[in-house]
Structure 1
Amino acid sequence: MSSQTPIPIPWSHRFRLVRYRVVPVLVFIVAAGSAGLLWRHQAGVLRAIGEVEVVRYELTAPADGILVALPGSQRQLCDRLLAGEVAARLDDRVSAAELDMVRGEIARLQKELEATSVRTRLEVAAAEASASAYAVRKLDEVRQLAVDVERLRLDLLDRQAQTQSDRVELQRLNERLEATRKVFAQGAETPYMMMDVQLRRDMTAERLEGGLKAVQEAQEQLKTVTARRDSALGEIPSLPACPSADSLATAFLAPLHAAVAVQEARLRQVQTRIEQLAIRAPADARICEIYRRPGQAVRLGDPILAIAVERSRNVISYFREQQAPRPQVGMEAEIRLRTVPRRILRGIVEQVGPQIAEVPPHQLVNSRVLEWGLPVRIGLPEDADLCPGELVDIVFKAPPQTPGPSPAD
């Protein structure tokens, strides 16, 4: 039997067999290995959507009143306000009228005190004929000191009312001077107007400074005279048919004393209202909402303006309930901006919320499905220049897990 030479398999057919039998197995092995590596790499990665924290202030009316126009241009959307700058002002005419009423009542009490002093002298002159001359003189001294105390109280009250009026005027002139400076810098105001406002402002400031010094001097005098009255009160000898030296010396001024106390309380009330007339910005921010404009009446608590800070150093995110492990303070996080080109910032978890809360709508993956999560605050680096309210993608880096003790241990 003759041997036959086998027919050689073409190389194209061999390659086809390798492609059909071996390549799928190799591809499956490589894909499975790659998937395993990716899964191992991503097992400790937690993703979430975050928002650059928005710091917003609602400026509300501290009292009932009418908004008045500020010197210069009126507030508009996106205007920048510095911390402490007046954002709105209430009409001060009511407070000024109350100050005038207080000063008028002070003047009436001063006249009444003068009349009381005259009656006291007449009573002392009549008592000298039927009582000890020394005792009467001591009683007259104490009564005059008591009258001086009430006179100094009225004088102090009048000076305080005047300083409050000067303080209101100085606030107006400061605001007008600031507005005039801005207009002058733009070349829309003459130097003479600038000098006039500056001069009036300086004169009012000087008058207020002098008034505050006078108030301090009046307070010191009142303390001195009060101490003298109290010291002399204990030196009054007993008089016949008199209930007590205290009642003789001070009881006749009790109605006037009470009236002065009422005016002091009214002045403190007016002072509190004056301090509330100017509504100031609590921080450097820009106006984002205007609810009321000059000329409108507002009630206590009505919103007037809303301002928001321009920069924020925190990102707020919500850790979903089904995600694990839970975030911890000090955990690292990658903050990936959605800008083009993409930027990646490094942040640290600074605080973790105490309870689960509803995720804001703009941080939902699907706006139709409500989600709940644990709020997390992430600190941004100092050089981060992000706009408040900007959405970012966050990748939390889970801390490495320490191996537990072996069963043999």
Structure 2
Amino acid sequence: MKNSVGKSQRVKRFYRRHAVPVTVWLVAVAVVVWLLYQRTTRFETMGIARGQVLQVAASCTGRIKEIHAPLFAPVKEGQPLVTLDTVTDNELLDEAKLRADLAMAGAEAVRLSAQLIPTQEKLRADAATLQMNQKDNWRRFEMDVDSARLRILDLQRAIASGRITLEDLAVQVKISEKLLQDEAIVPLELEKIKVHHASILQNVRENEQLLEQARGILRQTQQRRDAFAMQEFPAPSEDAALEAIRRQVGVQEEIMKGLLAQLDAWQARRRVELTAPIAGRVIPIHGQRNDALLQRPGEEVVRQPGEVVRAGDPILAVAEEAPTEVVAYVSEQQLGHLRARMPVELRKPQAPAASKRSQIAEIGPTIELMPQRLWRNPTVPQWGLPVLIKVPPGLALVPGELVEIRGL
């Protein structure tokens, strides 16, 4: 009996010393194998929240006149951000040439007027000789129309010249106000410019009123001429000479219209506005990059008024306030578990922590170098296949924030 009890105790001691540790070790191995299997059947990685960032650049070379929105200010889509002067210094001669051509066109109109006066006197003398016959009446009507046209041309030339002078004086007023603020000039000089500006403005307005009156007179003279033209009579030889002059006047009128249109377009180039392509916040150019090592020289410099930018040079950028997508990189070892439209869980590790479910929207075609922020070791580059995941509603992220992604 004692032998059986002793044998039973020895068996128990054997199990406690050998069988139980082996069993625990086997269970631990099984758990590790199961965890490794679970890890290999799904992927876990990190990603970066990203919103849309669009640059604002001019399509032609120009000088920055104004920047309407400061850095990080909220803007709406279509809101003016930058005003450019796209008239370069080497084009100022072209502008001066346009103004000179306009002055020449006005002088040519005056010269034609000087030619019409002797012709008109001759026609009036012929009218006295022919006792004011129908031909003389027709010529008088034509002279009245021509005089009205010349008056209109002269007023248009004076108005155009006055407007150009007003624009120059307006620029001088702005410059003088700035100089006055800097105490570079006395207030009297600014007041003189303003008085001159007001005088020219009053003259332009008076000429505009006279222009409307002249146009009314022209319509009246044309109506009288047309009514008289209903009568049939042979045109005298003097009419041919006047017709040639009238055609020259018409040519000068068209030339002046074209020059005025060019000057208007030129002035429009003085203020070219660049608007916000999307709603968001204004950021500097380097704000598009999440990695400082990838910045190019000069990107940290913010553009200022007075700088000259070439066509295509970015001035600033507009970034969405809320990210719309997460860019993650999957290592080569996890590619076998990756598929399109695969459900994933997005986890926000930073406070306040949150998690939402989403799915893989797009998978990149080639393996790329990961951003440095995603490297496990900052000195060892890592590569991966980029994937795009849409940010689900309710997950509050900041552009550039790190997000944990786990496959489901």
Report if TM-score (shorter chain) is over 0.5.
Answer: yes
Task: Measure, in 1, the Cα distance between the counterparts of 2:209 and 2:345.
Answer: 62
User: 2-side partners of 1:151 and 1:97: how far apart?
Assistant: 26
1:104 matched residue in structure 2: 103
Alignment of 1:5-404 (within 5 A): 5-7=5-7, 8-9=9-10, 13-17=14-18, 19-27=20-28, 48-59=47-58, 61-62=60-61, 83-85=81-83, 90-91=88-89, 93-94=92-93, 97-98=96-97, 100-128=99-127, 129-130=129-130, 133=133, 136-171=136-171, 173-174=173-174, 177=177, 189-190=182-183, 193=185, 195=187, 199=191, 202-203=194-195, 206=198, 210=202, 213=205, 216-217=208-209, 220-221=212-213, 223-237=215-229, 238=231, 240-242=233-235, 252-277=245-270, 282=275, 286=284, 302-303=310-311, 306-309=314-317, 311-313=319-321, 315=323, 324-326=339-341, 391-394=400-403
Offset of 1:168 from its aligned partner? 4.1
Cα deviation code 1:149-204 (max 9, x no counterpart): 23313421331233134224424543664x558xx5xxxx34x8484686467557
Note the C-alpha offset of 1:303: 4.0
Cα distance, 1:52–1:157 mapped onto 2, change above 3 Å: same
Alpha-carbon displacement from aligned partner over 1:71-90 (angstroms, at most 9, x marks no partner):
9xxx9xx9999834557873
Deviations 1:84-132, CA, capped at 9 Å, x for gaps: 4557873375256335413531441242243143134224314423476
Take 2:195 and 2:354, find their aligned partners in 1: how far apart are those partners? Answer: 54
Q: Is the 8 A contact 1:166 1:204 kept in 2?
A: no
Q: 1:345 to 1:25 in 2, by over 3 A?
A: closer
**1:300-347, Cα deviation, whole Å (9 max, x unpaired):** x944953223754364666889754349xxx9995859xxx6776899
Q: 2:107 corresponds to which letter in structure 1? A: R
Gaps of 5+ in 1: 401-409
User: Which residue is 1:404 aligned to?
Assistant: none
Cα drift, residue 253 of structure 1: 0.7
**CA deviation map 1:365-391 (0-9, x unaligned):** 7978696777x886999x9765xxxx4
Aligned residue for 1:55, secondary structure, equals strand
What SS is found at the alignment partner of 1:242?
coil
Kept in 1, the 8 Å contact 2:347–2:356? The answer is: yes
- Do the aligned partners of 1:48 and 1:395 also contact (CA within 8 Å) in 2? yes
Corresponding residue of 1:405: none
TM-score, length of structure 1 as denominator length? 0.60
State the 1:260 CA deviation: 2.6
CA distance in 1, matches of 2:203, 2:345: 59
SS of the aligned residue for 1:325 comes to coil
Asked if structure 1 preserves the Cα contact closer than 8 Å seen for 2:51 and 2:320, the reply is yes
Percent identity, aligned pairs only? Answer: 9
Q: SS in structure 1 opposite 2:152?
A: helix
Q: Give the alignment's Cα RMSD to 1 decimal.
A: 5.8
TM-aligned CA distance change 1:47 to 1:245, over 3 Å: farther
In structure 2, stretches of 5+ residues that fail to align are 74-79, 277-281, 286-297, 376-380
Task: Give distance in 2, aligned partners of 1:3 and 1:143.
Answer: 153
1:159 partner amino acid = I
Contact 2:283–2:318 (CA<8 Å) still a contact in 1?
yes
Q: Given the two structures, how large is their TM-score scaled by the length of structure 2?
A: 0.60
| Residues 357, 36 of structure 1: alpha-carbon distance in 2 compared, 3 angstrom cutoff | closer
